[in-house]
Amino acid sequence: MAVTRNPTAFSDGYWWSGDGVRLHYRDYPGPTDRPPILCLPGLTRNARDFEAVAARLSPAWRVIAVDLRGRGESGYAKDPMTYVPLTYLQDVERLVDELKLDRIVAFGTSLGGILTMLLAGTGRPPLAAALLNDVGPELEAAGLARIRGYVGKPAQYPTWMHAARAMAEANGEVYPGYGIEDWLGMAKRLHRLTSAGRIVLDYDMKIAEPFRVPGNEAGVDMWGAFDALAATPTLIVRGDRSDILAADVADRMAARIAGAELVTVANTGHAPTLDEAAVEAAIDRLLSRVTA
């Protein structure tokens, strides 16, 4: 069911990658005496995925929602082979340096969760807490095959309702409880309106090129990166219908880190939207463990 949120003002920020791509983030206001929440989206998603999170947590917390290269308001890369996690990591590290962030709370959905684990592995900057949304050190082959089947395939629609119905047809098994307002919300997060009046997916279709190369979903031993979260308050969120994060992998993750919390969202696939009641309560518990 659609949840109505009060809109939260944000400022648009920009920074430059090492290879000259202009990148974008949304900066929602919050205090300077606690670490900001850095939100990292999934493969085909963008900063708009975290509107509900920011609406609930800002201005009690500063929330920074990133558009990775090739998504949203960020520029497209000249070389599509830079659409890989290690390059995204370098981009995020440059943002952290530019904003002079000494510590962060990282919220990562899917690909964003891989980046969260990589940030933990580098320790730059130190993580005050981490949320891994429907992703882990091992990814299910079936889910990866499903993603490869649709990513990079252009689509356009004459109206938002057409886009919403396409979302419902493609994702009905992921969110079986959704109504038309929910699908409209998803369509507006995933698409943009062109100058020609067409509604299209809001990412560079070329992000699919390296993703289809075996091993480029993560690129490194992710259990080693995950273990770097051992001293970090950690929340693991999993959809009970997920075809990316298996239940046994999520259980192993939670057992591997002392104090980690695992929340499973009922009747949901890949990935939860983080505005589910159980997840919001778990986020509050996670943030209560963050020290200034």
CA distance 287 to 130: 9
pLDDT at position 275 is 97
Task: Give the whole-angstrom CA distance, residue 50 versus residue 53.
Answer: 5
Has residue 3 got a pLDDT over 70?
A: no
CA atoms within 13 Å, Cβ hemisphere of 117: 27
What are the distances in angstroms from CA 142 to CA 12, 69, 148?
Answer: 37, 26, 10
Predicted pLDDT of residue 1: 37
| Residue 239, pLDDT score | 98
Give the pairing of strands 22-28 and 63-67: antiparallel
DSSP secondary structure letters along 141-193: HHHHHHHHHHTT---EESSHHHHHHHHHHHHTTTSTT--HHHHHHHHHHHEEE
The CA-CA-CA angle for residues 214, 106, 205, to 5°, reads 40
Q: pLDDT class for 220, splitting at 50, 70, 90?
A: low
Q: Using alpha carbons only, how large is the chain's radius of gyration in Å?
A: 18
Position 120, amino acid: A
State whether residue 100 is helix, strand or coil.
coil
Q: Which of 47-51, 220-224, 271-275 has the lowest mean pLDDT?
A: 220-224
Percent of the chain with pLDDT over 70: 94
Among 31-45, 86-100, 167-181, 212-226, the least confident range: 212-226
SS3 127: strand
7 — pLDDT class (breaks 50, 70, 90): low
Mean pLDDT (the chain) is 94
Please report the pLDDT score of residue 291 as a whole number: 85
In this structure, the number of other CB atoms found within 10 A of the CB of residue 291 comes to 9
Per-residue exposure over 149-181, b if at least 16 CB sit within 10 Å of its own CB, e if not: eebbeebebeeeeebbbbbbeebeebbeebeee
Domains of the chain as residue ranges with CATH: 11-151+207-288 (3.40.50.1820)
CA-to-CA distance for 76 and 261, rounded, in angstroms? 36
Residue 125 is predicted with a pLDDT of: 93
- The angle, 0 to 180 degrees and rounded to 10, between the axes of the packed helices 160-171 and 180-190 is 100
pLDDT at 235 over 90: yes
Query: Cα–Cα distance between 191 and 200 in angstroms, integer?
Result: 5
pLDDT digits (tens, 9 = 90+) for 64-106: 999 999 999 999 999 999 999 999 999 999 999 999 999 999 9
Give residue for tokens 């590290």.
93
pLDDT band at 184 (very low <50, low <70, confident <90, very high): very high
Residue 223 in tokens: 């259990």
Kindly give, in sequence order, each residue whose CB lies less than 8 Å from that of residue 52, ignoring residues fewer than 6 positions away.
3, 5, 273, 274, 275
- The tens digit of pLDDT for each residue in 20-49 reads 999 999 999 999 999 999 999 999 999 999
Q: How far apart are CA 158 and CA 176, in angstroms?
A: 25
Q: Looking at residue 4, what is its pLDDT? A: 42
Which class for 3: exposed (0-12), middle (13-18), buried (19 or more C-beta within 10 A)? middle
